[in-house]
């Protein structure tokens, strides 16, 4: 009974991973096919190529900003709903969880309309209140922020659902005891409710970081890695090397994919080690 699932994993997960390791050790001919053994040379290129080093830093920045905004925003949205009436809470929950129902491409297309330099909705609103909006997708710093905002909004729905479920199942006796002792408002949230949510917060920090390190769709739709490569992430660089150039560099892209896999494993292990005590 387990064999069909194992077969699917072997075909679509483990075999591609093994094949990726093999391809990363070979250079390519003019057709992009592996032709000669180059060992770890392509792995060394990942850390010596200035474009890839910049992509690594950009990936880290986008992941950190998107995780902070999505998890922090979800927490700020969930806490007031804890004491809301049943029907308003249900309506608010549906509206706030909607981002989880959208595809990454669709949500990024919406943000492309918001951030458009000349006719963008966001700059139009800012203009009406007397503020000159920045060139969101043409300035390197603003473009990174724009991609981070689009990614955070896309991830917000999942974070909100997880925290909403956690808040719903909190031990009310502990909260009532704290309220009887005089805790209320921000003090109650900071000293009682948020500590009780720590396991869910750790789960979100780990999963959202993994997702942030693999961001691609928002970059492809909003900026295509621009301006001047400022928003090019590791996955976008991987895609460009394997599929976006006239001469595909499948070996180099495979090496980059293996480095990204190791990076995700390393970051996840560090997060578990650091956050386990906090949780």
| CB distance 233 to 218 below 8 Å | no
Q: What is the pLDDT along the chain (279 residues), one digit of tens a residue?
A: 999 999 999 999 899 989 999 989 988 776 666 778 888 888 888 888 888 889 999 999 999 999 999 999 999 999 888 777 778 888 888 888 888 888 899 999 999 999 987 778 888 888 888 888 888 998 999 999 999 999 999 999 999 999 998 988 888 788 778 777 777 777 788 888 888 899 899 999 999 999 999 999 999 999 999 888 899 999 999 999 888 876 788 888 899 999 999 999 999 898 888 877 776
DSSP state of 83: T
pLDDT at 131: 85
CB 170 within 8 A of CB 160: no
Query: Does the predicted model carry a pTM greater than 0.85?
Result: yes
The runs of H, that is alpha helices, within the chain are 3-9, 15-24, 41-48, 50-81, 86-97, 104-115, 121-128, 140-168, 172-180, 185-188, 194-196, 198-213, 217-222, 234-239, 250-278
Residues 157, 216, 60: CA angle, nearest 5 degrees: 85
* pLDDT for res 130: 86
- Which letter, b or e, does each residue of 112-147 get, where b requires 16 or more Cβ atoms within 10 Å of its Cβ? bebbeeeebebbeeeeeeeeeebebbeeeebbbbbb
Res 15: pLDDT: 93
Give the per-residue pLDDT at 150. Answer: 95
């Amino acid at each position: 009974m387990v064999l069909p699932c194992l077969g699917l994993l072997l075909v679509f997960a483990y075999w591609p991973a093994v094949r990726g390791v093999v391809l990363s050790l070979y250079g390519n001919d003019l057709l992009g096919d592996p032709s000669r053994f180059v060992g770890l040379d392509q792995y060394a290129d990942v850390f010596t190529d200035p474009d890839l080093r910049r992509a690594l830093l950009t990936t880290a920045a986008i992941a950190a900003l998107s995780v902070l905004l999505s998890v922090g925003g979800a927490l700020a949205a969930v806490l007031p709903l804890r004491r809301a009436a049943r029907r308003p809470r249900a309506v608010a929950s549906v509206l706030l969880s909607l981002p989880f129902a959208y595809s990454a491409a669709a949500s990024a297309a919406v943000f492309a309309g918001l951030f458009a330099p000349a006719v963008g909705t966001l700059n139009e609103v800012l203009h009406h209140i007397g503020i000159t909006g920045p060139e969101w997708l043409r300035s390197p710093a603003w473009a990174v922020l724009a991609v981070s905002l689009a990614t955070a909004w896309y991830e917000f729905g999942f974070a909100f659902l997880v925290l909403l479920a956690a808040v719903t199942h909190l031990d009310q006796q502990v909260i009532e005891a704290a309220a009887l002792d005089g805790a209320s408002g921000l003090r109650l949230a900071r000293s009682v409710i948020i500590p009780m949510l720590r396991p869910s917060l750790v789960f979100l920090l780990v999963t959202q970081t993994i997702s942030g390190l693999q961001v691609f769709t928002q970059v492809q739709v909003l900026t295509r890695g621009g301006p001047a490569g400022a928003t090019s992430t590791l996955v976008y660089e991987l895609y460009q090397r394997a599929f976006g150039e006239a001469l595909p560099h499948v070996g180099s892209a495979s090496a980059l994919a293996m480095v990204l896999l190791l990076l995700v494993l390393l970051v996840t292990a560090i997060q578990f080690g650091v956050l386990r005590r906090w949780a």
